[in-house]
Structure 1
């Protein structure tokens, strides 16, 4: 591939930032208002707050991860752009799935769809990191981003644990496992 096919990252980063900002805004706008100004009314919609928290953390973790990676990337190509577009497609479904899972927290189907979206995000991020390493071979930091154990294996294992729990009658365990994965990822990034 010739040098002419490579691009700088600035426009992609700006696009990504804008999409994440819109998704986070839609997430908060989808939160239902309590029926009255009482703690009981607020507690009645606790599943909406729980689903919002998970989705918000997914979005902010993605933003932080994207920022961290692209700080070290010098060039991208059309494949990277299209992987980012695919990533944005998958992430943009989060507000819909958040409302769906908040309204049906004990539904096997809603929890599985929510979990699959999260798993697809991790797969696309892994593919993107692998491609970025190929395009930017001198960036050793990117090789750390391609940690199969942290990027794919642990989130997949936790999703399977949640899925097994869902089959056993505890569908909300999928959301709990996603939350554990996100918190783990945030703590890992703070090191």
Structure 2
């Protein structure tokens, strides 16, 4: 199968996810700056989630530039990733609306963990599709940054029940690490 449909579908789903998240930002009742203060946790949650969804879109885009073809397992692995990303608006709203309490930060971290795991499964499905000796496999190399991110997400879940703001800081740190896109696939000829 050609990769164009999976890319177009993924782009559309990610655009809808971002749209749903921004709709959670309600216009405050009031005309002064103080009316905005209650929205700060919701706005911070939105910014963090927007960055995270953007990171997945960016890396998905770069990775699919190296993809030659897709098969059934790749389609399912991609849907698995999109499922967990589609829960981002819920996790974002739950955390922001409730002031970063322990359970809400833990659920947000869990969603990010599942996004990370599902992205890794997508990579494995693409590796199986292209083979260990393919240009895709050579471009992929090791995924140290991805493995470290997955570990931090996993650590943030129990930490959220002890220090929710520290757990949130770790999640923001992972996002900051990924602001520079994954360059592994940009070295490969297209």
- Normalised to the residue count of structure 2, the TM-score between the two structures is 0.86
Q: Does residue 1:22 correspond to 2:45, yes or no?
A: no
Shifted more, 29-38 versus 86-95: the winner is 29-38
Aligned to 2:177: 184
Q: Does residue 1:56 correspond to 2:50, yes or no?
A: yes
Partners of 1:17 and 1:65 lie apart in 2 by 12
Tell me the C-alpha RMSD between the 2 structures: 2.1
Count of residues paired in the alignment: 183
1:41-120 alignment runs, 5 A limit:
41-120=35-114
How far the C-alpha of 1:81 sits from its partner, in A, is 0.2
Shifted more, 96-105 versus 142-151: the winner is 142-151
Give the gaps of 5 or more residues in structure 2.
185-190
Partners of 1:130 and 1:143 lie apart in 2 by 13
Aligned to 1:150: 145
Partners of 1:82 and 1:163 lie apart in 2 by 26
Partners of 2:138 and 2:164 lie apart in 1 by 35
- Relative contact order higher in (CA < 8 Å, ≥ 6 apart): 2
Contact 2:103 2:161 in 1 (8 A): no
Contact 1:17 1:63 in 2 (8 A): yes
Aligned to 2:32: 38
Report the secondary structure of 1:187's partner residue.
coil
How far the C-alpha of 1:41 sits from its partner, in A, is 1.8
- Normalised to the residue count of structure 1, the TM-score between the two structures is 0.86
Shifted more, 41-50 versus 15-24: the winner is 41-50
Partners of 1:190 and 1:40 lie apart in 2 by 43
Contact 1:58 1:182 in 2 (8 A): yes
Aligned to 2:122: 128
